[in-house]
């Protein structure tokens, strides 16, 4: 079996890669669900959100950010896979890799996120990873939470 297929990894956003992160874009139809990667990068400069780059091999293909909320859970947000790389299984691997990293790095065992009710791809993805809708809403978004053992 070949091991040459590029792997998904999560890496810090820094002076060397932020321009690549800023190029990550979604389709026009998806802009109703998320802001742009440049907006999220700016948000991370002026809030408690922390940015992470999603790599396929040595190429940036996506973005996500995280932050610990007052409820002590680790929130994931701004999850983007570039439109040219979607529906190839990378979003799933990236979210799973981010959870593993943040569990190892911060000891996080409770994760939370939110999404628009109409975002059926995101909803399906998060539910299949194990996120459970709690009935809470964050603005107009459904909140789902994951508790690890
Ligand atoms: C949501 C998003 C991060 C998912 O990443 P992705 O790499 O496209 O997703 P994956 O390829 O890992 O697929 C995850 C699941 O969704 C399904 N899926 C992905 N794209 C799909 C599409 N366009 N239509 C239907 N199903 C789709 C896959 O079949 C897979 O389901 P399965 O594992 O049961 O087969 C990505 O589509 C994206 O960036 N969307 C725009 C921004 C956004 O909405 N972000 C989430 C905000 S909460």
Each residue's pLDDT tens digit, 71-119: 899 999 999 999 999 999 999 999 999 999 999 999 999 999 999 999 9
* Ligand 1 proximity of 88 Cβ (cutoff 6 Å): yes
Ligand 1 atom nearest the C-alpha of 114 is: 48
Mean pLDDT taken over the chain: 97
Mutate to test the pocket of ligand 1, among 121, 127, 129, 133 (most ligand atoms within 8 A of CB): 121
Beta strands in 21-100 (DSSP E): 50-56, 59-68, 74-81
Could you tell me how far CA 145 lies from the centroid of its own chain? Answer: 14
Q: How far is the CA of 86 from the centre of ligand 1 (A)?
A: 6
Q: How far is the CA of 81 from the centre of ligand 1 (A)?
A: 8
Higher pLDDT, residue 37 or 2: 37
């Amino acid at each position: 079996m070949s091991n040459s297929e590029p792997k998904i990894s999560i890496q810090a956003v820094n002076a060397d890669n932020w321009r690549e992160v800023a190029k990550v874009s979604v389709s026009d139809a998806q802009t109703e669900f998320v802001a742009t990667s440049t907006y999220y990068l700016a948000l991370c400069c002026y809030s408690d959100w922390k940015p992470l780059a999603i790599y396929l091999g040595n190429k940036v293909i996506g973005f996500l950010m995280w932050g610990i909320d007052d409820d002590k859970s680790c929130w994931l947000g701004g999850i983007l896979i570039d439109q040219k790389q979607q529906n190839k299984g990378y979003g799933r691997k990236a979210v799973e890799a981010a959870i593993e990293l943040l569990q190892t790095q911060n000891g996080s065992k409770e994760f939370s996120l939110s999404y628009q009710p109409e975002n059926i791809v995101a909803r399906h993805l998060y539910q299949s990873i194990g996120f459970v809708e709690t009935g809470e809403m964050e603005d107009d978004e459904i909140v789902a939470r994951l508790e690890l053992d």
